[in-house]
Amino acid sequence: MASLTLLAECQYYRAVAHLDHLVISVRDLDEAAARWQKVTGIKFARGGRHPGGTGNCIGVLHDQEAYLELITVVDRSSMDGWAVLARDRVGPLSWAIGTDDLDRDVEELAARGVTVGEVANGSRNCPDGTTITWRWSIVGEPGAASWPFLIEWPTSGPTRLGVTASSADVRLSAVTVRVPDPGDLAAALTGALGFSWCERGPDGDSETVVTDGEVTVILIPAGYGPVGPVSLRLRRNEPAEQEAQNPELLDGILINVQAEQAPA
């Protein structure tokens, strides 16, 4: 399917809400971070531990709010929702839309008939002893990775994540997500969260494409495959003579890295 190689891409005005991050469940954080960095060029740093018994590594992208989160269970006795989801799973776990007004967007989605969970507080204890916090809400049915959750940070930029590593030459340009209802999700993203339409699939039988003005989100019907993020397109500054890189599968996600020459 063409959409799995992320051929579609579009750029419009920057939406108020935006693609914040993707959550990918792995068995071993250090091993996974090394694999992801080798293929993508993204630098990952230990993010710390969540109170619910999970730990993560954070991959910050160049000059973007969007980032990648590798997550694993460190307390296998925990019954926290995230720990339960990640305990026996490797691959895409969820994805998040960032907003500057969570209460407004929750209310707007609910008014449109979208199932929205209660607003909750989240936190993570960082390796340097500091604690970062956020507010978030589930969108859609709990545990369904096809619909993103909403997240509101107290600040913007990489400092909100509690890590210092950054990937100076890598940007996320597009993500493909397999969902049961591309049209419904696209309508929620554009109608309530300010995303823009790029193109609409006829009768919902083909890909539906929206954008936050920076990252293209390609929604494809679930069919019989797993739901959630299934492929990423990254752009990496490399010498012009660098050979093209073939797409590679990492923890259930097809990674397509495109080289582009840095400005002189």
Instruction: Please give the tally of structural domains in the chain.
Output: 2
Summarize pLDDT for 6-57 with one digit per residue, the tens.
444 565 555 579 999 999 999 999 999 999 999 999 999 999 999 999 999 9
Same domain, 180 and 201: yes
Residue 247 within a domain: yes
Kindly state whether residue 107 falls inside one of the protein's structural domains: yes
Same domain, 177 and 146: no
List, for residues 169-180, the tens digit of each pLDDT value: 899 999 999 888
Domain check: are 56 and 179 in the same one? no
Domain co-membership, 81 together with 124: yes
- DSSP string for residues in 137-206: E-BSSTT-TTSPEEEE-SS-SGGGGT-----TTEEEEEEEEEES-HHHHHHHHHHHH--EEEE--GGGSS
Same domain for 153 and 184, yes or no, is: no
pLDDT of the residue at 203: 43
CATH number of the domain encompassing residue 183: 2.60.40.4320
Assigned domain for 230 exists: yes
Domain coverage including residue 110: 16-161
Q: Which residues of the chain have pLDDT under 70?
A: 1-15, 142-145, 165-168, 199-206, 224-226, 238-244, 261-264
